[in-house]
Chain A
């Protein structure tokens, strides 16, 4: 309904003119989705809120540089992702990685997985910062290990190993959670 009343182009133009009404519209439209992205990268909700806050400030301050080329949502998402990575880097000097070997876990049938987004974020938040970033960049942003390595200033091997370990851990934790829920029910 809101989209019909206010097309994306109009909202963007309003934001470029720094009209508060359009800025709020933009925030209301994209914040819930971007907050989910923030939660995937952040360790807790407070950190996710900070990242969201900083991201939208960057969006409003730099919206003049958006030239209406490509997906606007994609442009916003890139800003949110980069802000999240910067935020983690700024707050944690040595981004922790997974150092120990993770035993192979058996594949789970994702179609039977019924966990909430909140529960999923809780599991993702258990991952060490570095591994979480690598995992999200690969799984959510579709980046290659080479791109991740360049972005995070690590080797491609490290990116691969961190991703693999993070995936094993997350799969294991999701399975564990499923079993717990099954046991309770």
Chain B
């Protein structure tokens, strides 16, 4: 027999039991595989949850800002557009206007207006029911009153033309309504509380006498804005904070291969504050929170189980910020930056809902920087709502160390992304 065949037969036919520990080791590795698969599934779920949270938060903020902007614009329009009715002092008559002299539009001279000299255009149809007096002159005296009525005159702000939307001028009904072209008027709204208008039938000249328009203040109490601390605002603020305890453990937990996983940690915080202007666009803001919560939640493999591990810290917090409104024409936007200082009230850890006091593991104080953006929505001249987003970054290692780990081996700092809503009341000094 060939040596090779003999060798192959011997090896193939021979069986030898491997050592028992080989199967034990394989089982152990299969157990680890099983645990790892469960962890991986759980981590994938957690990652999905995190993204749902992030997307929901972003959508919520966008919605809040959109609704806020819409409400502010509506608020401004309603304050700058009182409906005005024209009551004609003349009785309704029928009048035939010679077609030869009738231009397509009636040109009116508004030169009698103080500081306003614009052409008033009224469609020809409107002139055909003017009252005619003895001197073949039709004069319309109109009193404008803040009442809605049946005729609408659209005011075009670009040329200050006034055009009727209806072919009939309000002679028959003794009343007309001046509306405002909302699409184009918003930047230069005006109010006509009382006015007189006369129309010369022959020359087709209309005369409107109206008081000097008053400019409605867009932002409350801006008369003394250049004086330091001429505006003081006190406010109450609430926030949803996505907090992080940046430590080696948190950093490692970002690794999908790691058995520990970071959980989205959301805390609710409340505070009060005061702000005062330095210039028209610069302000100084102080805020106080008695019980500001931070912390980090984990899911981790602990003593053979996959458990939740929550580290919760509670601080008394004082923040000082400088706030700047970058747009001169729109003071609703503001960016701010500043510093905070915090004093630890309580620190505890929950592992599977078992509470442990860890106050001694963390330093009694913390400090850091704040930066963020706010959008202000004036509700009245005094009351303002604000929505904002802030980032807070602790600059101090808040881990004080314990019997097992020294402070420098577990350097930790507070970080949070905060979404705030505040309501403020402004005093003018």
Contacts and interface: CB of A to CB of B under 8 A. Distances in A.
B215 interface: no
Given A35-B17, A110-B1, A57 B30 contact: yes
A96 interface: no
Contact of B10 (A48, A111, A120, A138): A120
B11 A40 contact: yes
A157 interface: no
Given A53-B22, A107-B3, A108-B3, A23 B30 contact: yes
B176 to A, nearest CB: 83
A165 interface: no
Contacts, number: 81
Contacts of B15: 32-33, 35-36
Interface residues of B, number: 27
- Determine which residue in A23, A60, A118, A139 has the highest number of CB atoms from chain B within 10 A of its CB, and name it: A139
**Interface range, A side:** 35 or more
Interface in B220-234: none
B102 to A, nearest CB: 91
A138 B3 CA distance: 13
Interface in B284-343: none
Could you tell me the dominant secondary structure of chain B's interface residues? Answer: helix
A117 to B, nearest CB: 4
Interface string A7-34: 0000000000010100110010001110
Interface string B25-36: 111011001100
Interface in B255-303: none
Contacts of B11: 36-37, 40, 117, 120, 140
Interface in B1-19: 1-8, 10-12, 14-19
Nearest to B1: A110
A135 to B, nearest CB: 9
Given A57-B26, A57-B30, A60-B30, A140 B10 contact: no
Contact of B22 (A31, A108, A117, A118): A31
A61 B21 CA distance: 20
Interface in A101-118: 107-108, 110-111, 113, 117-118
Contacts of B22: 31, 49, 52-53
A83 interface: no
Contact of B18 (A24, A32, A57, A60): A32
Nearest to A139: B4
Contacts of A60: 26, 30
Nearest to B33: A61
B3 to A, nearest CB: 6
Contacts of B12: 33, 36, 140
A167 B4 contact: yes
Contact of B6 (A31, A32, A33, A110): A110
Nearest to B24: A53
A39 interface: yes
A126 B19 CA distance: 22
A171 interface: yes
A61 B243 CA distance: 39
A130 B113 CA distance: 109
Contact of A39 (B6, B16, B26): B16
Contacts of A18: 30, 34
Given A27-B26, A110-B3, A117-B11, 6 more contacts: A32-B16, A39-B16, A53-B29, A60-B30, A61-B33, A111-B1
Interface of B: 1-8, 10-12, 14-19, 21-23, 25-27, 29-30, 33-34
Q: Which 5 A-B pairs have the closest CB atoms?
A: A117-B14, A110-B6, A32-B15, A35-B18, A110-B1
